[in-house]
Structure 1
Amino acid sequence: MAGDTRQRMTEAAALSLRRRGLAATSFTDVLAASGAARGAIYHHFPGGKDDLAEQAVAWTGRRVRAEFASIGGDDPDAVLRSFIALISPVVAKAAGGTSCAVAAVTVEASPAQSALNAAADTAFRSWIDVLAARLRHVGVPPSQASATAQVMVAFLEGSLVLARAAGTVALFEQSASVLLRALTGSLD
């Protein structure tokens, strides 16, 4: 049961990071959203808010990595199209005000919050690694697969920021079609 409380708190923190960012995420909000008792905070997260945020970033990183691992396609173009289809609803949510918990921590954590920065770096690298592996699986050379995977993650994160700022997915739709045209055929 204690593991359930910790998990509920971690997931509530991840959602708060997506909606409010690191600075505005509070224990009060996390406790209310998770249904946890106030005493659970330092029992499950002895390092306080940074510990909670670090766990939320790690959980988000694993969840997104698993989604990326499920991307289908028998050739590079199909993998890119599957990636765009997978992230499209996430970008739509960003247009409505939510974003990425990992990016929120990346932008707001100070250099002194090295554990938070390391957790974000680990998450991003795991996404790049799984996307690069997927591209290699469909025949993209390793050096090109890694660079393309980096572009894919940068495209996702940039699209989230632009959609949230504009309140629309229009820029995502335009840039997705340009990205597909630019990369189509270049990965063979």
Structure 2
Amino acid sequence: MNRIVEATAELISRHGLSATTLDDVVAASGTSKGQVFHYFPGGKDELLLAVAQYEADRVHAGMDERMPELSSWSAWSQWRDQLVGEYDIQGNDCPMTTLVVDLHRAGPGARALIAETAARLQSRIRTGIHQMQAKGLVGAHVDADAIAHSLVAGIHGATLLQLATGTDSHIGSVIDTAIEQLKSTASQRTPVHPT
């Protein structure tokens, strides 16, 4: 079963969902159509949901293994460099890109996995901002939720631009801009309005 899921994921990341056929999956996995339907009796939708889970698990494993706790500026810089480096290595094989670009079409189960994956990254960023606020490194008035949402959207939009254009500056620029904006808030005070 794992061989079928991994082969399907690789085909989708290389060629896209619409260009991946069952015959391609059978050839790439070294299995038969009977084996595919044995493991995935629900057919294509069930297989694609398993692929979406596989890709989501890859994203979660990367976060757990390599994403630092964002409680210092050096940690933010480390995370920025790690993301840029990973994309340079992964390119089209970026699991989050595969999820967002292709597997969102695999039905509500896949979309729920994408939402959960994005929410998990947003939670880590939000927690980091709260820790930085507690240290006085980020202004207390900063809306950590809003920054986390926009940063996740910016990062994933940047990966799509990098994929489409072949340039490698977008992801780093998104995070650098967020870091500079957050740093600038440390000296700002929430305005006091007369009552």
Which TM bucket (shorter chain)? 0.7 to 0.9
- Tell me, yes or no, if structure 1 residue 180 matches structure 2 residue 174: no
TM-score by length of 2: 0.72
The CA distance in 2 between the partners of 1:137 and 1:32, in whole Å, is: 50
- Tell me, yes or no, if structure 1 residue 75 matches structure 2 residue 71: yes
- Tell me, yes or no, if structure 1 residue 152 matches structure 2 residue 151: yes
* Alignment partner of 1:17 out of 12, 15, 19: 12
The CA distance in 2 between the partners of 1:73 and 1:166, in whole Å, is: 31
**In the alignment, what sits opposite 1:3?**
none
How many residues align structurally? 178
**In the alignment, what sits opposite 1:86?**
82
Match of 1:128, as an amino acid? Answer: Q
Residues 159 and 170 of structure 2 are in contact (CA less than 8 Å); yes or no, is this contact kept in structure 1? Answer: no
State the shift of 1:93 in Å. 5.0
- Tell me, yes or no, if structure 1 residue 51 matches structure 2 residue 56: no
The CA distance in 2 between the partners of 1:44 and 1:148, in whole Å, is: 42
TM-score by length of 1: 0.74
- Tell me, yes or no, if structure 1 residue 118 matches structure 2 residue 112: yes
Structure ID, larger Rg: 2
Residue segments in structure 2 that go unaligned for 5+ positions in a row = 188-195
Superposed CA deviations along residues 40-61 of structure 1, whole A, max 9, x for unmatched, are 2111122222222211112221
The CA distance in 2 between the partners of 1:179 and 1:186, in whole Å, is: 11
Aligned pairs for 1:127-142 (under 5 A) are 127-136=121-130, 139=134
- Give the secondary-structure state (helix, strand or coil) at the position aligned to 1:39: helix
Residues 22 and 105 of structure 1 are in contact (CA less than 8 Å); yes or no, is this contact kept in structure 2? Answer: yes
Change (3 A) 1:181 1:75: same
Match of 1:72, as an amino acid? Answer: P
State the shift of 1:22 in Å. 2.2
Match of 1:117, as an amino acid? Answer: R
State the shift of 1:169 in Å. 0.5
State the shift of 1:136 in Å. 4.4
Change (3 A) 1:170 1:47: same
State the shift of 1:133 in Å. 4.0
Change (3 A) 1:172 1:117: closer
Superposed CA deviations along residues 52-101 of structure 1, whole A, max 9, x for unmatched, are 2211112221221232233225624233223212221343257x544512
- Say which structure, 1 or 2, has more relative contact order (CA 8 Å, 6+ apart): 1
Aligned-residue sequence identity (percent) comes to 23
The CA distance in 2 between the partners of 1:89 and 1:74, in whole Å, is: 18
Residue segments in structure 1 that go unaligned for 5+ positions in a row = 1-5
